[in-house]
Amino acid sequence: MNRTQPRPPTATEDRPVVLVDEHAHAWSPKTARARFRAGLTGPTAGVAAGHTQANLISVPADWAYDMLLFCQRNPKPCPVLDVTDAGAFTTVLADGADLRTDLPRYRVWRDGELADAPTDVRAHWRDDLVSFLIGCSFTFEWALTEAGVPIRHVEQGRNVPMYVTSWQCRPAGRLHGPVVVSMRPVPPRHLSAAIRESSLLPAVHGGPVHCGDPAGLGIDDLGRPDFGDPVDAEPDDIPVFWACGVTPQAAVMASRPPFAITHAPGQMFLTDARDEQYRVA
């Protein structure tokens, strides 16, 4: 797949927010959004503890039904939390938030090619855009941590590694593409807790889709993620893979709609919703 990057983020821009400010885990979502609106960038794992994070994809209204159907048919990678009206840049998930400014970094797509990676998309915004907010697995990392599961990418100050797999999503209208997964190395003694805790949060991808040999997903080298950063695993760690909300971006690249706006992988929208609102038990 052709993933052009017009202006790679600098090392500082791509540092996790928790490394930029040691108190980021205690921020309110409103504070986090204000910091991002002011120009702070970086992966948001560990930010605003206990609050739900979301992926963003905005498409023209004449592609919105295809996107909604794509999400309905592929609920593991694309669990929808909210869908806006055409042209709206607000969401019921975050009072006073602006979807055009309040994420750390965006991606702007034209005909399936990456055209820009700004921190503010007001100049790119269109009145016909329908935005989809899709659950993010960063949300359940707090539950994993409380259950004693180490989160290696957070420990190492890196973005979570994400991989394009050989698995194909169920097509919907003009949209098709591969499943993208995120990977977290998990010690064997914590595997059952990782599966149990994430499975209780299906609105943010739920339980893993695969554990163990990455070849089962068509992944050749864990050291070369398609998005995010490689992480160092302990010798006995098991690679555990969750469906990932970057999947719609892979569909954009494969299906080539004329225009789309998405979040930058790992740099999410912080909602006001509490994690427990989406816990099923």
**Helices then strands (H, E): number in the chain?**
7, 11
Q: What is the helix (H) or strand (E) element at residue 247, kind and residue range?
A: helix 247-255
pLDDT of residue 8: 47
- Using CB atoms within 10 A of its CB, is residue 161 exposed (0-12), middle (13-18) or buried (19+)? buried
3-class secondary-structure state, position 76:
coil
Q: What share of the chain is helix, strand, coil (3-state, %, to 5)?
A: 30, 25, 45
- Using CB atoms within 10 A of its CB, is residue 223 exposed (0-12), middle (13-18) or buried (19+)? exposed
3-class secondary-structure state, position 262:
strand
| Dihedral sign of CA atoms 185, 187, 191, 193 in order | negative
Can you tell me the distance from the alpha carbon of 278 to that of 281, in angstroms, rounded to the nearest whole number? 9
The total number of residues written for the chain in this structure: 281
- Using CB atoms within 10 A of its CB, is residue 16 exposed (0-12), middle (13-18) or buried (19+)? buried
Torsion of the alpha carbons at 251, 255, 257 and 259, rounded to the nearest 10: 40
- Using CB atoms within 10 A of its CB, is residue 229 exposed (0-12), middle (13-18) or buried (19+)? middle
Q: In the structure encoding, which two tokens stand for residue 101, read together? A: 């400014």
Largest CA distance in the chain: 51
The CB-side HSE value for 32 (13 A sphere, CA atoms) comes to 31
Domains and CATH numbers, the chain: 54-84+103-268 (3.30.2040.10)
3-class secondary-structure state, position 186:
strand
pLDDT of residue 4: 43
- Residue stretches of the chain with pLDDT short of 70: 1-14, 18-20
Q: Residue 10 has what DSSP assignment?
A: P
Taking residue 204's Cβ as centre, other Cβ atoms within 10 Å add up to: 26
